[in-house]
Amino acid sequence: MTRVTIQSLKGQKARGEKIAMVTAYDATFARLLDEAGADILLVGDSLGMVIQGNDTTLPVTVDDIVYHCRAVLRGTRRAHVVGDMPFMSYQESLEQGMRNAGRLMKDGGCHAIKLEGGAQHAPLVARLVAAGIPVMGHIGLTPQSFHQMGGFKVQGREPGAAERLVADARALEAAGAYAIVLEGIPAEIAAEVTAAIAVPTIGIGAGAGCDGQVLVVYDLLGMDERFKPKFVRRYADVGATVRDACGRFIADVRAGAFPAANESFSLDAPAPAPTPLYSVAGGKS
């Protein structure tokens, strides 16, 4: 099976083929998403919220992203895997950004890194690309600037914002970014940015005019019934399914109805063949 590459993604934009990106944080989900045909798996710093239970992405560390990248890589065969640069892992200096991006590539094994911010990070993007590290940009609502923005607010509504976003996208493209996430901006502006650059845009809360779309996997699966933002389409009700299935297991245990005889080993039966005690997440069992 051929891997999705930064070149094949650019080809998708040129041919008008939409790009599907989903977040992934572990090998089991990575395998399922890879089999479902996702082009890109993003090991996003959203893991600080959906995995770690923080209110923002700010506490996530480079070690966290490295750990989850390694797991996700084990589950994939086709998807292009991108590791997110956490808050304050690149804002301090070019050297800090180079070192930490290198860690995501070398220790995490990912195929590219993503960083939040526009023209102000163009020098770092150019250095990373020159060193052979593909960079995905991220502009608009940048969750690492939560406190600066005063919350998770749609960006780009004020006068001059569209021009600034186009300028940021052009600066990132000129520095060598191979794709740019557009988050939480009006659809009209996202379409304008998309038309202004040759590299693919991947939208989240940015309308249908982007070259691709991304959602946090837990949100599209409906893991948290309380979370219903406008930009998420819920494709399943997995939260309720998990609660129901585990509730039935718990009830069976309490009633002494699990395990049944055919789910137990017996001295009367021939010795069973050795078998792994748990499924192997990457699907290699």
Residue 51 near residue 235 (C-beta atoms within 8 A): no
Among residues 84, 168, 173, 211, the one that binds ligand KIV under rule CB under 6 A: 84
Residue numbers 95-154 binding ligand KIV by CB under 6 A: none
> 183 catalytic, yes or no?
yes
The tokens 């399922």 sit on which residue?
Answer: 32
We find the least distance from the C-beta atom of residue 23 to ligand KIV, in angstroms, to be 4
We find the least distance from the C-beta atom of residue 270 to ligand KIV, in angstroms, to be 50
For helices 161-175 and 122-130, angle between their N-to-C axes, nearest 10 degrees: 20
Structure tokens at 152: 């998770």
Among residues 181, 182, 193, 217, the one that binds ligand KIV under rule CB under 6 A: 181
Instruction: Return the range that interacts with ligand KIV (CB under 6 A); candidates 41-49, 62-70, 129-137, 231-239.
Output: 41-49
Q: What CA–CA distance (Å, rounded) separates 9 from 2?
A: 13
Among residues 204, 217, 221, 223, the one that binds ligand KIV under rule CB under 6 A: 204
Instruction: Return the range that interacts with ligand KIV (CB under 6 A); candidates 37-45, 61-69, 86-94, 263-271.
Output: 37-45
Residue facing ligand KIV at closest CB distance? 44
We find the least distance from the C-beta atom of residue 191 to ligand KIV, in angstroms, to be 18
Q: How far is CA 155 from CA 44, 88, 139, 159, 160, in A?
A: 20, 21, 9, 11, 12
The tokens 């700010």 sit on which residue?
Answer: 58
We find the least distance from the C-beta atom of residue 256 to ligand KIV, in angstroms, to be 43
Among residues 39, 45, 168, 173, the one that binds ligand KIV under rule CB under 6 A: 45
145 or 283, CB closer to ligand KIV?
Answer: 145
Nearest CA-CA partner of 76 in 134, 36, 46: 36
Among residues 42, 79, 105, 112, the one that binds ligand KIV under rule CB under 6 A: 42
Q: What CA–CA distance (Å, rounded) separates 117 from 82?
A: 16
Q: What CA–CA distance (Å, rounded) separates 44 from 112?
A: 12
Q: Is 46 in the site for ligand KIV (CB under 6 A)?
A: yes
Beta strands in 15-153 (DSSP E): 19-23, 40-43, 80-84, 112-114, 135-140
Beta strands in 69-111 (DSSP E): 80-84
> Which of 17, 35, 163, 183 is flagged as catalytic?
183
Positions marked active-site: 183
Q: Which residues bind ligand KIV (CB under 6 A)?
A: 23, 42, 44-46, 84, 181, 183, 204, 214, 216
